[in-house]
Amino acid sequence: MFSLNEKVQNLTPYDPITGQYPIRLDANESFITLSKEMKQELAEELQSTHFNRYPDPFAAEVRAGFAAFYGVPAECVMAGNGSDEVISVLMNAFLQKGDTVITLERDFSMYSFYASIVECNNIVVPKKDNFSIDVDRLIETANRENARMIVFSNPCNPTSLVLCRDEVRRLITSVQSLVVLDEAYMDFSSESLLSEFSEYDNLLILKTCSKAIGMAAVRLGFAVGQKRLIDVLQAVKSPYNVNTLTQTVGTVIFSHPEYIRTSIQRILESRDDLYKAVLKLAEAFPERLTPVKPDTNFVYVKSAESRAIFAYLKEKGVIVRCMGDCLRITAGRNYENEAVTEHLEAYLKGESR
C-alpha cells in the first residue's frame, strides 16, 4: 500500500458546518449582498468574458483597483485565491524545511496548518489572560529562536482585539523575522499599518475581500509589501491563481468605493448593536457570560457554558462558532442579531442550565 508521508498522516480537512440553518453567524461573513444595479453590472461583464482564455496571471486590473482603494502602489500588491492561498504561497516562498515560524495562541488556525505543510518548526507564543498580545515575550522569543517568520491577525480572529499601531511597529523593528500582519478585519478598526508598509523591509500585510467587502464567495485576497517581497510571491504562486471571474468581480467592487465604505458603516452599526445586546445579558447574568469589546465584525464571548449554548442555539436554527470556552458570533442583519440574543436570553433564563 502506498505509504503516506508523516506530515499528512494526521491531517483532518477543515470542517465547517454545512447544511441549512435559517441563521448563520459563524463565519464572519458580511450580511450585505450586492444591489440589483451591481449585479446587473456584473452580468454585463460576464457577457464579454473570454471563457476560453486563461486569466491575466498578474491580475493587473484588480490589483490596481485594490491599490487605488487602499492607497498603495499596485506593484507592491499580490493577489491570491483568497488570503488563505496567499498565506500558503508566502510560507512556501519565505520558509524552508526546519525554519522556525512563530504563531500566537489564540489566533487564526490556518497559520499553523500551512506552517506544518512546509515542515517548519512552529513555536506558539501564548497571549495574556485578557487575550492581548504579549509583545515583549513575542520579541524575546523571536530573537532567541532566530525565527524566520511571525504571523498573526490584527485585529485578531477569534479574540476580536486589536493591537495598537505603536506596538506593531515596535515588534517589526525589534526582530529580524518577516512579520506577516493579517489585517483581514482592519476595515473595522483603525490601527492599520498599510499606509506605512513601505518603511519596513520585513513586513507583509494581508487583506481579504471575504469580510468587510462582502465577497467571500469569489475568493480574493491580497498581500502588500515592499516590491522585493511581492516579486518573490509573484514568482512562487501558480501562474493563474486568480480566475477571470474573480478578477472581474473584484475590479467592479473596487470601482465602487462608496459601496464598500457604506457597507463597513452598516456592519459596524450591526456589530455595536450585537455587542450592546450581549453586554446587557452579561450584566444580567454576570457569572455566565463575558463579552470582549470588539474591533471586528463579530463578538467574542467567554462562557464556561459555550458548548451548551452552542447546542441550544443550533437547536433553534442559529449557528455561531463554538471555540472551547468561547463563542464567536458574527454581526448579522437586525433580525439575526435579535434572534441570537433572544435565544441566548431564553437559554440563560431557562431550565437548560
The residues binding ligand PLP (CB under 6 A) are 28, 82-84, 108, 153, 157, 182, 184, 208, 210-211, 216, 221
**CB contact at 8 A, 75 and 227:** yes
Closest distance between ligand PLP and the C-beta of residue 58, in Å? 19
Q: Are strands 203-208 and 178-182 parallel, antiparallel or unpaired?
A: parallel
Q: Rounded distance, CA 82 to CA 206, Å?
A: 10
DSSP label at 11?
-
Q: How many Å apart are CA 151 and CA 93, to the nearest integer? A: 14
Q: Which is nearer to ligand PLP, 248 or 330 (CB)?
A: 330
Query: Which residue has cell 489572560?
Result: 129
The minimum distance between CB 103 and ligand PLP, in angstroms, equals 11
**Shortest distance in whole angstroms from residue 117 CB to ligand PLP:** 16
Nearer Cβ to ligand PLP (185/347): 185
How crowded is residue 98: how many other Cβ atoms within 10 Å of its Cβ? 10
**In the complex, least distance from residue 219 CB atom to ligand PLP, rounded to whole angstroms:** 6
Residue nearest to ligand PLP according to CB distances in the complex: 82
Taking the C-alpha atoms of residue 123 and residue 104, their distance in angstroms, rounded to an integer, is 8
Residue whose CB is less far from ligand PLP, 153 or 312: 153
Angle at 138 between CA 133 and CA 144, to 5 degrees: 170
**Based on CB atoms, which residue is closest to ligand PLP, 161 or 281?**
161
Which residue number, 230 or 282, has a Cβ lying nearer to ligand PLP? 230
Output the smallest distance, CB 28 to ligand PLP, in A: 6
What's the rounded Cα separation, in Å, for the pair 202 and 222? Answer: 17
Task: In angstroms, give the least distance from the CB of 137 to ligand PLP.
Answer: 21
CB nearer ligand PLP, residue 153 or residue 248? 153
Closest CA to 214 of 278, 265, 154, 156: 265
